[in-house]
Amino acid sequence: MSRARTLMVQGTASSVGKSMLVTALCRIFAQEGYRVAPFKAQNMALNSAVTADGGEIGRAQAEQAAAAGIEPTVEMNPILLKPEAEQRAQVVVRGRPWATLSAREYQARKAELLDVVAAALEHLRARYDLVLIEGAGSPAEVNLKADEIVNMRVAALAEAPVLLVGDIDRGGVFAALVGTLELLTPAERARVAGLVINKFRGDRTLLEPGLAFLEQRTGKPVVGVIPYLPAIGLAEEDSVALEEHRAVVVPGRVEVAVVQLPHLANYDDFDPLAAEANVRFLRRPAELGEPDLIVIPGTKSTAADLAWLRASGLAEAIRRAVDRGVPLLGVCGGYQMLGRCILDPERVEADQPEVPGLGLLDVVTRFASTKQTVRVAGVARAGAGVFAAVAGTPFRGYEIHHGRTERGALAPWLTVRERGGVPVTAEEGAIREDGLVAGCYIHGLFESDRFRQALLRALAARRGRAVGVTAFQRAAAYDRLADHVRRHLDLEAIHRWLQLPLRRSR
């Protein structure tokens, strides 16, 4: 059986566009009819996804698989690091928790995982025509290079030519590209087949002298200058992107305020809402205002973020807003925070065995070392207030959490009818009698069109707001991105490196 060709995308730093470019290339090669899969050996992210068999991987690799038109698998991201409080991270290996380690502890044990990386890569190469590999951070981190298992070591393992990407929008792109190459070994430098400049704004002719300099100085061709593309519509890899996020505000639309917790996880839950409503992320009470809906989202460190919520003053500001009649939704860790208390006898997250919750829902959460990662589907139940509007609407989503939450006298909000592909009938979440507060464990609820639009219409009706008519479609975003990159990247050169014929897109 022939092994897949490979191409690797590395960057001069984090957030320069590696994930974006791999996503675009996945779509482009899939449109040409190639069987293509993404791969990232090690990912550090709090935005994650669940595979069909219940494994957990980075959100970016699930996005790239979707762009390629395939189901994501744990082999596409065999190692996922999920940062926790106190400078530690949960290490997820092949979709399952492996250990919780400090940075120094992980560095000492990283060599144990090289075989896992190699096996996952070979698994994909045996099943696809092309594997598109994403690096992490920069390959020129000289203090970490000796033990790295995600950049040049993977390129050598995969026998992959490397595209090196720099972000011109942040400044210093020429120094970043030249400096990165200078810090590589001769063998590593030889693997770099071409350079790409991302997020360009302005007149290309003014850039030409710089491109000529790069090619003359490095001996590497500049194979792409990708113009800045606003509102790409892709799920971001992590909440770092929120630091540069500027919400598009449409006057008169429904307003949703999402609390930007320090360990915010899976904030792409709200991308579908942002296509049809004004979504704001906030960190201070003064930013709360009078939204139509407040959301406390998921987090990797529930107890620590709950303490932050109180210390910041947001807990009290949210309580006062609910008293004024503003609906509140908790998702996953946010749902746990809304309850009476969080019990953690095994110290899975907290330093103390019991942490008081916000007391806005009559539920109690008990943490356990077992982690639930599963895809689910179901239907919303009847309720009160704006949340009653979704009654009878179907949803699909996924769960990623430690612990179980038990209701007191409250009614469940949702009914799960399928869990991990198996038919079930299970009650999920809770809703307060007055219909102002609800919570559940389900991520991805708002990608279900009928569910999302029913809730937005109900919120709009309360205050005479509007709901946008732009349907949320990630597939359209993949096509738009592919078209954009295709226009500005030398695909003929890339096909030559890969020895794959350039085909007409299907």
- Coil/strand/helix, residue 242: helix
Q: What b/e readout covers 250-285, taking b as 16+ CB neighbours within 10 angstroms?
A: eeebbbbbbbbbbbbbbbbbbbbbbbbbbbbbbeeb
d(CA 283, CA 291): 14
Cβ neighbours of residue 126 closer than 8 Å, sequence gap 6 or more: 1, 3, 4
Let me know if 443 is a catalytic residue.
Answer: yes
Contact status, residue 425 vs residue 402, Cβ threshold 8 Å: no
Let me know if 440 is a catalytic residue.
Answer: no
φ/ψ of 213, rounded to 5, equals -60, -45
d(CA 332, CA 324): 24
Q: Which of 306, 335, 317 is nearest to 428 (CA)?
A: 335
φ/ψ of 173, rounded to 5, equals -65, -35
Which of 123, 263, 443, 488 is labelled catalytic?
443
CA distances from 318 to 18, 88, 325 (A): 37, 29, 11
d(CA 337, CA 330): 8
d(CA 238, CA 435): 32
SS (H, E, C) 5-67: EEEEEEECCCCCCHHHHHHHHHHHHHHCCCCEEEECCEEECCCEEECCCCCEEEHHHHHHHHH
CA distances from 97 to 37, 93, 500 (A): 24, 6, 38
Which of 263, 332, 402, 440 is labelled catalytic?
332
Residue 241, amino acid: A
Angle, helix 173-182 to helix 204-218, in steps of 10 degrees: 10
Cβ neighbours of residue 353 closer than 8 Å, sequence gap 6 or more: 343, 344, 345, 347
Active site residues: 332, 443
